Structure 1
Amino acid sequence: MGAVRAKGESMKTYTARSAWSWLREYWLNLRRIRFWLVAVVIVYALVGFFVLPWVATGYAVNMVADDLGRDLRIGAVHTNPFTLTVEIEDLALDDVDGQELIGFKRLFVDVAAWSSLFEWTAVVPTARLEGARVHEEGFDSGQTRVTRLLTEFVRRPLPRDEEGVIIRPEQSGPTVPIALDDIDFSLDDFILAEDAVTPFQVSGRFELGGEFAFDGKVQLLPGLDLAGTLEVEDLALALAEPFVRRFAHVRVDSGNLSTEGELRSGRHDPLTYAGSARIDALGISERDGSEDVVGWQALAIDEIDFRLGARLLELSVIRIDQPSARVFIAEDRSTNLGDLLVDRPAVPEAAPETETEPFDIVIGGARLDGGVLAFSDRSLPLPFATRVQQLKGSISRLASGLEEPARVDLEGQVEDYGQARIKGELNPWHPLSRAQVDLVFENLAIPAFTPYAVQFAGQRIAAGRADLDLGYVLDDGRLDASNHIVLRNLKLGESFEHPDATNLPLGLAIALLKDSDGVIRVDIPVQGDVNDPEFSFGPAIRQAFTDILQGIITSPFNLLASLVGGDADPDELAKVAFVPGSSDVAPPQQKGLDQLRTALNQRPELALKLPAPYAPDADRTALQRQQALAAMVERLEQAGLDVANPSLKAAETRETLEAMFAERYPQQALGEVRERFTSAAENEPPKLDAAAYREHLATQVTAAQTVTEEDLKALAQARADAVRNVILGEGDAPAIEPDRVRWMAPLEVKANDGTVVLEIGLAAD
């Protein structure tokens, strides 16, 4: 047994020595080691140069297809196992609908794994991205192609049906896409270590127009800190249309944004930007129409200071060159500005959130030059449109945290020859709390405002120009407005039916208001509470104007008396009192007519209407008395009798009066008539009451005179003639045109306090 054991041990020793000898001879010698080193290098190179790119490409394509349901195309992958670099060419990732989402021509990364291994940190000496592309697109749901991809990447695996097809929620149609092309990125000497700062550059262009470039540095540890210079040139603002459409139904037709400044994002402030900006050739129109809404030729801001952490946006003076805007009122009184706003669905009231600090906005002011404002109103019976052009001026500093109002000073040209000026102070953040604004319009062509006039006047405006000085003061919602209106050479044209037109005689009102220079001056005060939902400025000023005209029409001679001044009495200008049977104008009445003539010279478009009044009872009696007296005077003259003051009741004319009575009443004996007026007292001779006797004879003779209706109308006409003659120049005041004093038909009136009154009427000439 011992011999066998020894023999076995000897065989094992020999076998081990033989194996070691064999290895040393065939594999561990210097020549063999060189072979294996070469073999390992070859295998390493083959795997690094050929196997790894093939495996990585296949894995990436399959992973994207299986987990994300998208197609990934890779032109080529090159790896260098010796320099530890990776290069990928012509990569493209398609979205679920086949639209390319991202891609690039070439990505080169120097991994520098040896340095990373030795330094126990990640080191990337060089990274280059060339010709990158991004096709972003937003959806009505609020998602975008990129955010949807990121969401699906995080929540892998995606839900699938029984056949393995990825289940996707329905999506609404896309909006305007945002595509970036020719993106180049470079990173040098990146080290993942504390306080290590790495320079990098990125640039590219937008498919719709515009280029961007960022040249800066990035630090990852102990926190992200990025800073550098951002340059954007001619960025097409149509890219912003998807975001704008969430708030307004508009289309961004044109506009380019350029900006240059220092951008920083770090631990101390999430985002800051200090630079300048310019927006050129902006044009925004209605989404479903071709009408422009707002735009400008150029907008420039020299200094921008934006600090997200401090919640501050500060801008220098905003300069706007050739701005334009259009305000349109439709037939239903809706406005284009109101219709442009998107109706946002009501959301249930949520629990109150913690109040955040408000954002402070400070604007150094605004300056406008060469602006145009187009205004049209189709809600009127006649369409109205006007333009304010060459609008220029300034708005002072605006700050959301200050109560100091902003000063406004603007002016522009209205149509061809009019001018508009706006000056005042207001708080744009609280416009109803306190504001004072003066609007001055000069030399406006009034016929252009016919569409507004027909609503009030029921007539077109044929000619005229206007100056408006409108002052508005708002104090805690309380409006105090003064409207001083000057109209020159105003003439009304043809009538235009409108249910809301006033029934006031506007022609007469204009004639009363228009002075000798053809000028009308009217002051219309308006007061009210703009916070009251029942208050409306338009109806308020219309009512105030109506009240003014009503007062003028109701008491026109008050206005004329005010033109004369002094002791002019409106009643003396409006009325002429005549003694019954007479057409003579008494001196006091002539004074009133002279004053009326003076007032008429100051109102050249005003005419007078002179009715011919007569009172049948009073005037007939007076005319009969005049005829009887005239007949007596004639008899006295024929008889050669000289009576100083002939009278029907005088004793000197008794015989003549008796003769006239006998002729008129032959059936009555004078003796019988005398007996009726003769009385005899006891023991006294009969006595005749001569005065009563003559009174009776005079009454009878007067009653016997014939006065016809034509005689009364002739008297009435004589009265009108007498007044007309005085007004036309019987006095010291200058005469007026004869056709401005017009006769009216005879008018039967009643005597008033023993006089017959001629009431002068007024008319527009």
Structure 2
Amino acid sequence: SFSGDIGVSRFHLIDSLHQEDLLKWDSLQVAGIEGGMEPLNLTVNSITLSDYFAKVLIDEEARLNLAEAFRKKENLEGSEEQKQESSSEEESETTTPPFIKINTITLQGGHVDFADRHLSRPFTADMRDLGGRIEGVSSEAESRAQVELRGQLRSQSPLQISGVINPLAEKLFLDLKLNFHDIELSPLSPYSGNYVGYLIEKGKLNLTLEYYLEDNQLKAKNKVFLDQFSFGDEIESENSTELPVKLAVALLKDRNGEIHLDIPVSGSLEDPQFSIGGVIWTVVKNLLVKAATSPLALLGAMFGDSEEDFSHISFAYGSSSLSSTETEKLQRMAQALADRPSIDVEVSGFVDLENDEEGYRNEQLNRQVKRLKYLDLVKNDQLEEGRTEENVVVPVEEYDEYLWQVYLKSDFPKPRNFIGMTKKIPPAEMKKLIYTHTEVTLDDLAELAQARALAVQGYLLDEGQLEPKRIFLKKPDITAAPKGETTHRARVELGAAVH
């Protein structure tokens, strides 16, 4: 057995490759050491590290200084034969892991200096006042050490880590919450310029990260809050993405200039394909791709409790009238757009060649029936306030009579009775003859597509209260297929752009 204390003061380690400070501290005190060899065990009452400094550097060749400093030299690693002998000796020894316990670890006055010089614009970050306590570290499987750490990024952005952890267990356990507040984003311009192609004009970042790991199964919540974030000047970079990052930011940002993202991550650490960064990047990349391909679908997915696609508005075949379901969707979309004043809307009308032609004939017939009913109400002074030809209601019991009047007025050959008068035939046959003699041209369908676009534009202007300068009508190929396989072909498509 053995016992005692250890202290190392004024330690200073130089990075010989870059000729810079690598690691140093004023005081490292390890107190209350007790241990034994059979079985192997170690108990430490306290470890205190004071006024320490570490330099983390990625150099011009993308080498990490810490990895380079502690890399084993080939001539010191020994021969392959020595390695095999050492391995055999280790295997012959007991596989029982040693018992280790550390009551308290105290960190105070820490300073970490980070620099990334492999970027075209070098990046630096300074973390100070790093300190806190870790209590109850033990190799026992069920033990949980309490963690409370804190610090400052650039002397103004507080960092805090709290929770429980078991770093010495055979399988790492942790349940930690990490909070990062008011991180200035403009200093990250070297990264945004290199990978996005834009400098960061301004913005602050707040992160709340919750990580739970047990039996190598990770469950994590990453809550991201960006405040007043905006890109600045565009710069050339071979590594920058071609995805519309500015449009994505404009869609994600609300009226208050805030962006809120919730990115859950889960997976097994035993899966070689799993990585936290990879999952998060996939989520972010999918957001950017959706902004490029269907920006208003992205906006709808973010708005409210359910994912809603704002990229299209559906119409009944042959009609340019908005249904109650679609007007409700437009109202929600207008509200979302009102909160994003930098987004312009592009409106394009389309038709379904297979179904809109028949629907158009039916719509024209219904309009004639409604017009006759409307004229009767006017003639008899029975028209209610607010009633128009478009919204007048034809009672079911009156419909066949008005259909007969439309049939009589229609200019096409009709069956006659024995005295030569127009023969009254069943309503279904009247409709069939009217449809047969109602010509529908491509120009008619083009007008229908335009009427649909105007109906959506009018709603966004009148009911949605959007500014006219934000809405643009486009004239597409009206028969083009929709982007989504399940999208109704009789529709208006809506796009977005940043002004």
Q: Distance in 2 between matches of 1:345 and 1:528?
A: 39
Structure 2, unpaired ranges of 5+: 373-378, 382-388, 390-400, 483-487
What residue in structure 1 maps to residue 89 of structure 2? 352
What residue in structure 2 maps to residue 760 of structure 1? 494
Letter in 1 for 2:46: V
Query: 1:574 pairs with 312, 320, 333, which one?
Result: 312
How far 1:575 sits from its partner (Å)?
A: 0.6
Alpha carbons 2:152, 2:158 under 8 Å: kept: yes
Q: Distance in 1 between matches of 2:57 and 2:423?
A: 94
SS state at 2:18 partner: coil
Structure 2 residue 423 is the aligned partner of structure 1 residue 687:
no
How far 1:286 sits from its partner (Å)?
A: 0.9
Give the 3 Å change call, closer, same or farther, for CA 345–715 of structure 1 in structure 2.
Answer: same
CA deviations over 1:63-96 (Å, ceiling 9, x no partner)? xxxxxxxxxxxxxxxxxxxxxxxxxxxxxxxxxx
Query: 1:563 pairs with 295, 303, 324, which one?
Result: 303
Alpha carbons 1:447, 1:464 under 8 Å: kept: yes
What residue in structure 2 maps to residue 720 of structure 1? 453
Give the 3 Å change call, closer, same or farther, for CA 594–478 of structure 1 in structure 2.
Answer: closer
What residue in structure 2 maps to residue 748 of structure 1? 478
Give the 3 Å change call, closer, same or farther, for CA 727–586 of structure 1 in structure 2.
Answer: same
How far 1:403 sits from its partner (Å)?
A: 6.0
Letter in 1 for 2:469: D
State how 1:93-172 maps to structure 2 within 5 Å: none
Decide which structure has the larger Cα Rg and report it: 1
Alpha carbons 2:300, 2:307 under 8 Å: kept: no
How far 1:477 sits from its partner (Å)?
A: 3.0
State how 1:383-398 maps to structure 2 within 5 Å: 383-398=122-137
Structure 2 residue 217 is the aligned partner of structure 1 residue 483:
no
Percent of residue pairs bearing the same amino acid type = 26
How far 1:524 sits from its partner (Å)?
A: 2.0
Query: 2:58 pairs with 308, 319, 329, which one?
Result: 329
Q: Distance in 1 between matches of 2:3 and 2:489?
A: 94
Count of paired positions: 450
CA deviations over 1:374-402 (Å, ceiling 9, x no partner)? 22334567543322112121222445678
Q: Distance in 1 between matches of 2:12 and 2:193?
A: 35
Query: 1:292 pairs with 18, 21, 32, which one?
Result: 21
How far 1:724 sits from its partner (Å)?
A: 2.1
Q: Distance in 2 between matches of 1:427 and 1:699?
A: 78
How far 1:413 sits from its partner (Å)?
A: 0.9
Q: Distance in 2 between matches of 1:652 and 1:339?
A: 91
Letter in 2 for 1:463: K
SS state at 2:85 partner: coil
What residue in structure 1 maps to residue 385 of structure 2? none
Q: Distance in 1 between matches of 2:462 and 2:138?
A: 69
What residue in structure 2 maps to residue 319 of structure 1? 48
Structure 2 residue 491 is the aligned partner of structure 1 residue 738:
no
Q: Distance in 1 between matches of 2:230 and 2:196?
A: 12
Alpha carbons 2:172, 2:214 under 8 Å: kept: yes
Structure 2 residue 176 is the aligned partner of structure 1 residue 442:
no
SS state at 1:687 partner: coil
What residue in structure 2 maps to residue 465 of structure 1? 204
Letter in 2 for 1:490: F
Alpha carbons 1:526, 1:544 under 8 Å: kept: no
Alpha carbons 1:649, 1:695 under 8 Å: kept: no
Alpha carbons 1:371, 1:390 under 8 Å: kept: yes
Q: Distance in 2 between matches of 1:605 and 1:480?
A: 36
SS state at 2:89 partner: coil
SS state at 2:181 partner: strand
Query: 1:590 pairs with 308, 327, 339, which one?
Result: 327
Alpha carbons 2:254, 2:340 under 8 Å: kept: yes
Q: Distance in 2 between matches of 1:590 and 1:404?
A: 58
Q: Distance in 1 between matches of 2:421 and 2:468?
A: 59
Give the 3 Å change call, closer, same or farther, for CA 304–716 of structure 1 in structure 2.
Answer: closer
Alpha carbons 1:396, 1:408 under 8 Å: kept: yes
What residue in structure 2 maps to residue 525 of structure 1? 264
Structure 2 residue 280 is the aligned partner of structure 1 residue 541:
yes
Give the 3 Å change call, closer, same or farther, for CA 678–322 of structure 1 in structure 2.
Answer: same
Give the 3 Å change call, closer, same or farther, for CA 561–283 of structure 1 in structure 2.
Answer: closer
What residue in structure 2 maps to residue 599 of structure 1? 336
Give the 3 Å change call, closer, same or farther, for CA 445–291 of structure 1 in structure 2.
Answer: same
Give the 3 Å change call, closer, same or farther, for CA 743–317 of structure 1 in structure 2.
Answer: same
CA deviations over 1:684-713 (Å, ceiling 9, x no partner)? xx6354579x9999999976x9x995x876
Alpha carbons 1:432, 1:474 under 8 Å: kept: no
Q: Distance in 2 between matches of 1:486 and 1:718?
A: 41
What residue in structure 2 maps to residue 209 of structure 1? none
SS state at 1:410 partner: strand
Letter in 2 for 1:600: L
What residue in structure 2 maps to residue 514 of structure 1? 253
Alpha carbons 1:504, 1:550 under 8 Å: kept: yes
TM-score, normalised to structure 2, is 0.69
Q: Distance in 1 between matches of 2:144 and 2:338?
A: 49
Q: Distance in 2 between matches of 1:460 and 1:396?
A: 43
Q: Distance in 2 between matches of 1:547 and 1:423?
A: 31
Give the 3 Å change call, closer, same or farther, for CA 643–337 of structure 1 in structure 2.
Answer: same
Q: Distance in 2 between matches of 1:583 and 1:358?
A: 76
Q: Distance in 1 between matches of 2:310 and 2:16?
A: 68
